[in-house]
Structure formats: C-alpha cells, structure tokens
Amino acid sequence: MYIVSYDISSDRLRNKIAKLLEGYGRRVQYSVFECEISEKHFQRLRNELSNHLTGSEDAGIRIYDLCGKCEKKIQVIGEMQKNEDEAEEDIFII
C-alpha cells in the first residue's frame, strides 16, 4: 500500500492531482490517499504525478510505501463518516 499526500497551493493543479489519485486509490483525508496498487501501477502513478508537478514551485507530494507489517500497525483515532461504497471497510487515518 502507498500513502500519497500533497500540499499544493494552486486550485487547478490540486484538483488535477486529486482527480488523478482518485483513479488509483481512495481518499482518506482531504489531501491524503491510500493506494493499494501493484509496483507497475505505482511507477505509472509516480511518473504522472511528477509530470504534473514539473515547473511548479508551490507544490509538494509525499509518498509512503507501507509493507504488510506496517499496514497492520496503522492506528485510527476517531471515526470518519464513511461513504456508501465504504460502509463495510475500515478507513485508516495517518
């Protein structure tokens, strides 16, 4: 699993990045996504994110690669309202 977070001041670029990430994972906070994808899909995502940020000075993206052991250690404090699609799934907050 990959955790992708971003801090982007441009509304236009931020919306593009969010839309791109929605195709690879699920939003767990406003600027944080969990992506359970293969290494091949991760490389494609990383390249697309990098291409979008080229020339952008006020934008940053962080990607955390979580191994299976690390995923099991995720701790959640509080409850978030779940979407209908996630009614039976846990939502993790990092």
Q: Which tens digits make up the pLDDT trace of 24-83?
A: 999 999 999 999 999 999 999 999 999 999 888 889 999 999 888 877 787 878 876 554
Range of the domain at 25: 2-86
- pLDDT for residue 81: 52
Residue 92 forms part of a structural domain: no
In a domain, 93, yes or no: no
Would residue 17 count as lying in a domain?
Answer: yes
Is residue 58 a part of any domain in this protein? yes
For residues 79 and 17, what is the distance between their CA atoms, to the nearest angstrom? 26
Per-residue confidence (pLDDT) for residue 69, from 0 to 100 = 81
Task: State residue 76's pLDDT score.
Answer: 78
Burial of 30 (0-12, 13-18, 19+ CB in 10 A): exposed
Query: What's the number of domains the chain is made of?
Result: 1
Q: Residue 18 sits in a domain of what CATH number?
A: 3.30.70.240
Mean pLDDT of the region 2-28 = 95
Say what the pTM is. 0.77
* pLDDT number for residue 70: 77
